[in-house]
Each structure stands twice: as structure tokens, then as C-alpha cells.
Amino acid sequence: MPLVNFPPTLLPPHLIELRNEVREFVHQELSDKTFQVTIDGWLSGYSPEFSKKLGRKGWLGMTLPKEVGGQGRSPLDRFVVIEELLAAGAPVSAHWVADRQTAPLLAILGSDAQKEKYLPGVIRGETYFAIGLSEPNAGSDLAALTTKAVKVDGGWLLNGRKIWSSGAHFCHAMVVLCRTSPLDTQNRHAGMSQLIIDLDQPGIDIRPIHLISGEHHFNEVSFEDVFVADDMVVGKIDQGWQQAMGELAYERSGPERFLSTLPLFTEMVRLVHQRPNPIALQAIGRLSARLLSLHQLSLRVTGALSRGESADTEAVLVKDVGTRFEKEIAETARLIFNAEDFDTDASTLNPYQDSAYSDFYQQATLQAPGFTLRGGTNEILRGIVARGLGLR
Ligand SMILES: Cc1cc2nc3c(=O)[nH]c(=O)nc-3n(C[C@H](O)[C@H](O)[C@H](O)COP(=O)(O)OP(=O)(O)OC[C@H]3O[C@@H](n4cnc5c(N)ncnc54)[C@H](O)[C@@H]3O)c2cc1C
């Protein structure tokens, strides 16, 4: 049996139609100027109106079972929809985490009350979730987390601090991984649980962490004696580590791990087509080959997941290669044009006056350092691949 396995996956014809439908929708929205193309739109492009439109189209909660209000569609259907939205730089950050991982988590492990409370809003594009994993002293070594919940009458009292919480300032709730039993140094992964925390309660402080550009995506979120009712525990008490790792499979395998800078690449191709030069053409050829390969690999991982096969090592491999690719687009963008070509103060000299290239390039450069960190750093991913290959 091969140690890594990327079985070929063909998109059925109805998904070609779905892809065209999403393309037409995005094209219309762009013509109507309802959104501005954003680099890294799944982290930076916030538009509740756009999220609600996707909900009305039936493009959120697509893979959730019909019993909970979803459409019971295949992960391949969702793959096609999100690939088109990401490639277009659509503003999808508001609902991204809720649609990608929280809703599937709740559909499998949530109580009936949790499903009723949260899933309809996620499917409509109105309820947003944040991820509460990282802490100031627990990132790659997540098992070092110290946020803890202590049992009280009818629920739990939560104290601690989460950091780098993307979008917590606009999210309605966060799934927090915390200790619910004392640390066992022989088994550090035991004794953790996942709690749903509505973020509008007393005792919660959400402080912005601004990027160097002044933009605000991240937050530091502290919890001081926050009461969490028993029915806000997801799945089983003390099984949180295994549950959170299952969630990471959704987080790591998708096309957002190689398409974050695609609008910059598309613009690069358009400009080089106008004024071809051998170095730029060579770079575009190289990046295009990698883009097509990543599309195939990511599709194959999604195909495996849709057949219920495990693809943990393969997903991690795609994320490692994919996040380096999206960074490389930004680096290549810097090399193939002269900055003066985009000098808006010298508009008579500017051959690319109407191009968004310079703007996209700046956004991509600012976002790129995070690509290989978020969702697990590439160094950590390589350790997982080594384990998958039986090398550790
Ligand atoms: C854009 C972005 C969005 C994020 N959003 C969220 C979010 O919404 N919710 C959330 O909980 N977290 C979020 N994170 C946090 C992210 O998960 C962490 O940054 C990541 O897990 C790394 O943890 P750390 O920052 O503490 O770095 P550290 O763990 O301190 O690592 C620092 C460096 O040391 C390396 N390193 C660490 N341990 C090892 C090892 N054993 N072997 C080799 N190298 C090692 C790492 O690869 C890294 O290069 C986000 C991060 C980014 C950049």
C-alpha cells in the first residue's frame, strides 16, 4: 500500500455546470461593483451582505445533512464553489470558519440544541464562528494551553486567554479548546474539551492586534469567570483534543491553501499578455504548472474525503506546497515588473494605469508571512508528513 495516495478524481459533469454558475454570479457581482477584489479574501474580505447572498444561493452548509437544514451535497460540490470564489478574490471571511469547520463539527458532534441554535444561521450566512486554539504560550505546542474551565453547578467557569483569533471582533461565537481536567504530564493531550462561547457575554474582552498596515484581523480574547452552560460543551468532556484534530482535517485540506494570492497572479498574466517579456513568460509558465498541479492534488484530497477515505498526510502535504506557492506569487510579482511602471504620480509614464496589480502586490506582501504559519506552521506539517511516512 502506498504511503501517500492521491487517487485521480474526476469532476462529474453537473459540477462543471455548478462552476459556470458560480463564475457567472461572481462576474455579475463584480459588474455591479458589490465587492472589491481582495487578496486573501478568506481572511481579509469581510462582507456580511455577500455572505448572505451565498446563503441564499445555497452555497453555504452545502455538505451538511438535510436533517439539519443542509443540502447533503458532496465535498466536491463545495470544492468547486469555494475554488471559484477564492480565485475571484471574493469577500468570504465573515462566514469562512463557520462554513468550513464549525458547522461540520456541530453536525457530527453537536447536541440537537446546538444544531438548532447555530446551524440555520451558518447556512443563511448570518452566524460566524472564530477558532479558539492558540494562546500566548501555546501555538505549535498546542497541548501547552492553560485556558481552563472548572465545573460549577449547571456548567463551567472559563478563565484564560486566546490569541491570533481571526475575526473574533465580528464573530458571534468561538469554539474554545480548554483544559477541563488537570494536566497529566504523561498524556498532555488528555483532559481538554471544546466549549462554544457566545462572544457577547460579560467577562469576555476582545482586543485588536493590528497588522503593520493598521488593518485589523487578529484579536487577543480573554475570559474571566465566563459561565458556560453544560449544553455548550461540544461532544464529550475531556475528548477535545481528538475532536479539534478532526476539525483540522477540514481546515488544512482546502483550496484556500493555494489560492490566497490568485487575483494577483491573474492580473500578472493579463499584464504580461499586454507587454510580453521572456523572464515574465518563464515565471508565468512555472507558476501555472504548479497551480494546475495543486488544483489536481487538492481535488484528489477532497475526492478521498468525499469517499470517506483518510487523507491526513496528503492534506498536510498540499498545505505545505500550496502555502509556499501562494507566497511565491507575491515574490515573483516583485521581480517581473518595475515599481516605477505603477507610479501613480507619474501617470503619463505609467503603462498600467488601470491595473490593480500594485495594490494586489502590496496586499499579498503584507499577508504572505502568515500563509505558512496559520493552521499549523510548515515545519510542524513536515513533522506530521514524516510521521505519516513512518519516518518518526
Ligand atoms: C494569519 C493567521 C491567522 C491565524 N488565525 C488563528 C485563529 O483564528 N485562531 C487560532 O487559534 N490561531 C490562529 N493563528 C495562530 C496560528 O495557529 C499559530 O501562529 C501557529 O500555530 C504557530 O504558533 P505560534 O505563532 O505560537 O508560533 P510558535 O509555535 O512559537 O513557532 C515559532 C516558530 O518555531 C517553529 N517551531 C515551533 N515548534 C517547532 C518544532 N517542534 N519543530 C520545528 N519548528 C518548530 C515554528 O514552525 C515557527 O516557525 C493564526 C495565525 C496566523 C498567522
The pLDDT score that the predictor gives to residue 285 is 97
pLDDT tens, residue by residue, 267-308: 999 999 988 889 999 999 999 999 999 999 999 999 998 898
Q: Is 21 a catalytic residue?
A: no
Least confident of 19-33, 43-57, 87-101, 234-248: 234-248
pLDDT tens, residue by residue, 175-233: 999 999 999 999 999 999 999 999 999 999 999 999 988 899 999 999 999 999 999 99
The pLDDT score that the predictor gives to residue 348 is 61
Q: Which residues line ligand 1 (CB under 6 A)?
A: 43, 130-134, 139-140, 164-166, 370, 373-374, 376-377, 379-380
Residue 134 CA, ligand 1 centroid: distance in Å: 8
Residue 140 CA, ligand 1 centroid: distance in Å: 5
Which superfamily is assigned to 132-240 in CATH? Butyryl-CoA Dehydrogenase, subunit A, domain 2 (2.40.110.10)
The pLDDT score that the predictor gives to residue 229 is 97
Residue 335 CA, ligand 1 centroid: distance in Å: 28
pTM of the model: 0.95
Least confident of 199-208, 224-233, 249-258, 344-353: 344-353
CA-to-CA distance for 245 and 251, rounded, in angstroms? Answer: 10
Ligand 1 atom, smallest distance to 97 CA: 8
The pLDDT score that the predictor gives to residue 240 is 97
Asked if 94 contacts 128 with a C-beta cutoff of 8 angstroms, the reply is yes
Asked if 209 contacts 164 with a C-beta cutoff of 8 angstroms, the reply is yes
CA-to-CA distance for 282 and 279, rounded, in angstroms? Answer: 5
Mean of per-residue pLDDT scores for the chain: 94
Query: Is the pLDDT assigned to residue 378 strictly greater than 80?
Result: yes
pLDDT tens, residue by residue, 144-163: 999 999 999 999 999 999 99
CA-to-CA distance for 212 and 277, rounded, in angstroms? Answer: 34
User: What burial letters (b/e) apply to 228-248, b meaning 16+ CB within 10 Å?
Assistant: beeebbbbebebbbebbebbb
The pLDDT score that the predictor gives to residue 346 is 60
| Minimum CA distance residue for ligand 1 atom 35 | 379
At which residue does the C-alpha cell 487517487 appear? Answer: 7
Q: Which of 135, 247, 251, 267 is catalytic?
A: 251
Task: Tell me the average pLDDT across 371-376.
Answer: 95
What are the residue boundaries of the structural domains of the chain, listed by start? 13-127, 132-240, 254-388
Asked if 253 contacts 298 with a C-beta cutoff of 8 angstroms, the reply is yes
Length of the chain: 392
Can you count the helices (H) and strands (E) in the chain?
Answer: 13, 8
Which of 159, 188, 201 has its CA nearest to residue 176? 159
Residue 343 CA, ligand 1 centroid: distance in Å: 36
Which of 227-241, 332-346, 377-391 is predicted most confidently? 227-241
Domain 254-388 indexed as CATH 3.40.50.150? no
The pLDDT score that the predictor gives to residue 246 is 83
Asked if 248 contacts 376 with a C-beta cutoff of 8 angstroms, the reply is yes
The pLDDT score that the predictor gives to residue 57 is 97
Interstrand relation of 173-179 and 155-162 (parallel, antiparallel or unpaired): unpaired
| Minimum CA distance residue for ligand 1 atom 23 | 139
The CATH number given to 13-127 is 1.10.540.10
- Using CA atoms, how far residue 186 sits from 148, 194, 392, in Å, is 19, 21, 19
CA-to-CA distance for 357 and 52, rounded, in angstroms? Answer: 29
| Minimum CA distance residue for ligand 1 atom 38 | 140
pLDDT band at 84 (very low <50, low <70, confident <90, very high): very high
Cell numbers for 136, please give them: 500566548
Query: Is the pLDDT assigned to residue 165 strictly greater than 70?
Result: yes
Residue 375 CA, ligand 1 centroid: distance in Å: 8
- Using CA atoms, how far residue 384 sits from 106, 141, 370, 377, 378, in Å, is 26, 13, 20, 11, 10
Ligand 1 atom, smallest distance to 130 CA: 8
